[in-house]
Structure 1
Amino acid sequence: MNEFYKKIFIKQKLMRTVLISLIPIIIFSTYLFGIRVLVLLAAVAATGTITEYLWEKHYGNKASEAVFVTCVLYTLTLPVSTPVWIAISGILFGLFFGKLFFGGFGKNTFNPALVGRIFIYVNFPEPLTNSWNNAASIFPGGFSTYLTDHIDAVSEATPMILYNNTAKLYDIQSLLLGTVPGAIGETAKLLIILAGLYLIYKKVASWEIMTGTIIGFIATNVVFYFFNLPVLNPLHGILMGGFLFGTVFMATDPISAPKTKTGKWIYGIIIGSVTLLIRILSLFNGGMMFAILIGNTFAPIIDYFVKESAARKKNKLEAIS
């Protein structure tokens, strides 16, 4: 069985570490939202894995284990009520136009999970902005309910939509514990924070990008506050929407992020700042996924100028000496 697996996939320890960090979030999300979480995960993972395998086989290559991470991350950004066919169409679009057409693993400019997520967000806005209310009570959660038509009866606004429409806020405890409506994986903030610390400890994710993203968000928030623009206190802003999930798992994607240390700081600050700009100045309730893709666009440029600046400084020092 192991030999058969080796013939199909390139083993990637880094990607396995990311998957391990996601397991508690998947378990908790399944408990809160119900078995439909596993249905969506299975459908997306099967579609994505088979698609990449067939594509790479055509070119005589193996599929990467990174496809599992892409499929899981993509699914966790969806509302649990997302129709399966829409979820499948998103992962297909994300893999083809975010990864495979660029040449496969290691050659993509954009995060493929976010490419797929934005594709369905733009094309199917109504089902992608609905969210099942898992928070009536922490026990027994939604695990005992197989979600079908019942979803429509208990859908409720996410914290971001609720605030934008009514100026009401969920309390910090609910936001941290994840007992609020939202996308499958974005509500469990405490588990996301722990996953981020685990990935930093394992040296899999960049702490510079995570820290830079938070600094960019808070700094922009302070600037907006002094100009009397409608902003939340930074803690609420960070805990609402997909900001933390995107910071830990999406922005730190090593392929689509800068490689230089200085570049990682700049990249993170851009993402954090743009997230708040989109939240305040656009029609979109969130902004993290758009901000990360904008950051992906600038990542190669950032690295180029950082390296050019370092080279110029080195030449000046050599000239002086």
Structure 2
Amino acid sequence: MSEILGMKFMKQALMRKVLYALAPIILASVYFFGWRSILLIAVSVLFGVLAEWAFKRRSKKPVTEAVFVTAVLYSLTLPPATPFWVAAVGIIFGVVFGKEAFGGFGRNVFNPALVGRAFVYVSFPKFLTTEWNVPASGFPGGFGTYLTPQVDALSTATPLITYRSSGLMAEYLDIAFGRVSGSLGETSAILIILAGIYLIYTKTASKETMGGVLLGYLAMSTIFFATGVSQVPNPLFGLFSGGLLFGTVFMATDPISSPKSNEAKWIYGILIGVVTVVIRGFALFAGGIMFAILIGNTFAPILDELVKYFKSQKTAKAQNGGEKIG
């Protein structure tokens, strides 16, 4: 116990900026769904830190502050009523197999928060796909309750699930402000956009990656929608629904699991946006952005290598051309 209480943390200013950007979204999750949101986040943080500490203690290295970001991001992708034990299992899996198995911070191939989310999504689908809660409204909202009531019909489930089952679309103001059922941090489009602006302004997250995801998504969804593919909603509705913005701002921009060159970031982002539309329209998963980012993570290293290769080829041609002229 004394070892745990005396654990040291590696200071990472960049990670703290991400937490600052997440603070309003965390408060919004409490307003919409109740104080259980804070407990769910706290459980994820606790077990995420302990999982990383279990690996660091042998080498006597400090726990990274990045694990706090991983745990908070992971918990914000969970429905409000997710059992605490499911949240704990997921974050432990994400930290161990999405991060420490590759050698720890800076070496992971996949976004560890999404590794954990994908694991609980396929392992405990009942809690992640069918149990949603009604968003609170008015004053004091969720600040006056532990947990808001569960939805009583499919018509009041998340906007994308409702669209898939009935073709009905939520009101744009509701999905913009967050007055819809969904995961803790994915409902309020306005707060996520403001967070994205802050992260770009402070040079904490890549604007190229964000721009690529939005470009790829809007282009592909417009093509499908314009050609009459009924499974794909109009691009604007899809943009504000299903965690697309949250994934774009906070997950796709993870500096470790995404490409390093600006050109590769654009390609990477476009790939994620395109794959998101395809998964949403034709797979069993209503969201799509989670698996799209993990697929993008797979291609990130080779995209950097391809950009480097083409740049070297261009440089070589320019040099050869100069030699011939001389």
Do they fold alike, i.e. is TM over 0.5? yes
Give 1:223 deviation, angstroms: 2.0
For 1:166-315, what aligned pairs fall within 5 Å after superposition? 166-230=166-230, 231-315=232-316
CA distance in 1, matches of 2:146, 2:293: 33
**Tell me, what secondary structure is at the counterpart of 1:143?**
helix
CA distance in 2, matches of 1:250, 1:262: 19
Give 1:265 deviation, angstroms: 0.2
CA distance in 1, matches of 2:296, 2:269: 8
Question: 1:154-196 CA deviation, whole Å, 9 max, x = no partner?
Answer: 9941001000001111111111000100000000111100000
**Tell me, what secondary structure is at the counterpart of 2:108?**
coil
Specify the code of the residue in structure 1 equivalent to 2:298. T
Give 1:57 deviation, angstroms: 1.5
TM-score in terms of structure 1 length: 0.95
Specify the code of the residue in structure 2 equivalent to 1:305. L
Give 1:59 deviation, angstroms: 2.3
CA 1:249/1:6 → structure 2, altered by over 3 Å: closer, same or farther? farther
What is the match of residue 54 of structure 1? 54
Specify the code of the residue in structure 2 equivalent to 1:84. F
CA distance in 1, matches of 2:48, 2:35: 20
What is the match of residue 34 of structure 1? 34
Given that residues 79 and 182 in structure 1 are in contact (C-alpha distance below 8 angstroms), is that contact kept between their aligned partners in structure 2? yes
CA distance in 2, matches of 1:173, 1:143: 22
- How many residue pairs end up in the alignment? 316
CA 1:228/1:154 → structure 2, altered by over 3 Å: closer, same or farther? closer
CA distance in 1, matches of 2:214, 2:84: 33
- CA RMSD, Structure 1 to Structure 2 (Å): 1.8
**Tell me, what secondary structure is at the counterpart of 2:144?**
coil
Given that residues 151 and 157 in structure 2 are in contact (C-alpha distance below 8 angstroms), is that contact kept between their aligned partners in structure 1? no
Given that residues 29 and 188 in structure 1 are in contact (C-alpha distance below 8 angstroms), is that contact kept between their aligned partners in structure 2? no
CA distance in 1, matches of 2:81, 2:91: 16
Give 1:138 deviation, angstroms: 3.5
Q: Which moved more, 1:242-251 or 1:122-131?
A: 122-131
Give 1:5 deviation, angstroms: 9.8
Given that residues 225 and 234 in structure 2 are in contact (C-alpha distance below 8 angstroms), is that contact kept between their aligned partners in structure 1? no
**Tell me, what secondary structure is at the counterpart of 1:175?**
helix
**Identity over the aligned pairs, expressed in percent?**
52
CA distance in 2, matches of 1:234, 1:138: 30
Given that residues 221 and 277 in structure 2 are in contact (C-alpha distance below 8 angstroms), is that contact kept between their aligned partners in structure 1? yes
Give 1:246 deviation, angstroms: 0.1
CA distance in 1, matches of 2:215, 2:271: 10
Structure 1 residue runs of 5 or longer lacking an equivalent are none
CA 1:291/1:317 → structure 2, altered by over 3 Å: closer, same or farther? same
CA distance in 2, matches of 1:190, 1:157: 20
